[in-house]
Structure 1
């Protein structure tokens, strides 16, 4: 998507723009937000980050959906500490976004079942190998899987719900930056409207 002719003028417009760009990342394989960087907390307390494909965005529930091999290290990290940050950058629109929140892993629930049913056959084969992601192997590359037997047991959905979204739009006539925060306390009802919205110095 080309850079907008003019930056969003109000905070409401900024938030709508950011959420729309995330949704475009799901629909457009060439969009910068098609893949995002997902950071979790490693078992030693340090940061760990990887690039993942953005599968779905629900702007009302404030969730992003990602898919993973259930045996991967990030799953154990999220189970241990659900705090996650997501970062994306689209070079065409010169937009960077950072989102902070919490993630949950669905291994065998309705969400994972529906995501698996909607997955393409080639995508399912990624979860078929018996080798655990990140484990040592004797040689590379491993032959690709041709049968998806057992693959469903290795598949999981990561559902990330953000409570902070930071938007940074880069432009020759002046950068713009804004932050939105939601209050997701124990007694707070889920809301698409942020509790706080503010402009930031770029």
Structure 2
């Protein structure tokens, strides 16, 4: 991070810092998030290296959705207004690093021990389903069309990355080879569903147990910087089937105790409901492939990945190679939970 506590507090007008920036844990994953305490409160600080125009595009789209959700009363952290030069809610540091600040919400996410009982998950699932419907009903259209969606990479690109992994040797080689059949099947399923897909709107894009907080005042949805264009029903289905996992990675499970409360609350709140066949999982599969591709790049050392991020990428790719075949095999059976 290019700025220290004093620099961030000064630029974002947060008051006088009471100490240095502290790392904010992200489960077993790497994190560029820090906590800053000032005489005006506690703040969450995120920093990202600039890697492409897509980050600026997503920042602008995210601001539009965040602003609409805040105005509608969705429970979420309020972002701090960034100083110029800014893009969305991010401060642009000479095209090298983007920094954003939001208010700190007290509470805990739904990953830790003691926070994942059946009753707690069902309560959180109902709140999440209702919240996803509220966001969908905002009807915030993407200003960038397909470019605002999570990427669906062509199969020749996957073959290139997997060949690179095989050439590098080591544990990634075996894992990457095992991954390819699932990537091919998932891509075919997504492309089939896309032929007759419903309209797109901007959605949160990263709703998971990692990003739903239980606070003293109830639940809240955090980490809005992954906003993307999607079919709202597809996102709701994907969140429901991945809510048994700590984050929106390659793992999914058809646990009726979680899936049904979330989707029922979504429908009761008026969220747009779509087909109850296997096409409803297209958004989930697209997100799973996007996460897996990103982590494969990290494991290969792309995107300026350091040793910690390379190890994280390998873990996620290994999980994908293990779990995606079972997910794909289960989709037709899981459609019963959509009705």
Is the shorter-chain TM-score for this pair beyond 0.5, marking a shared fold? no
Q: Which has the higher contact order (CA 8 A, sep 6+)?
A: 1
Which structure has the bigger radius of gyration?
Answer: 2
- By percentage of residues, which structure has more strand? 1
- By percentage of residues, which structure has more helix? 2
TM-score by length of 2: 0.20
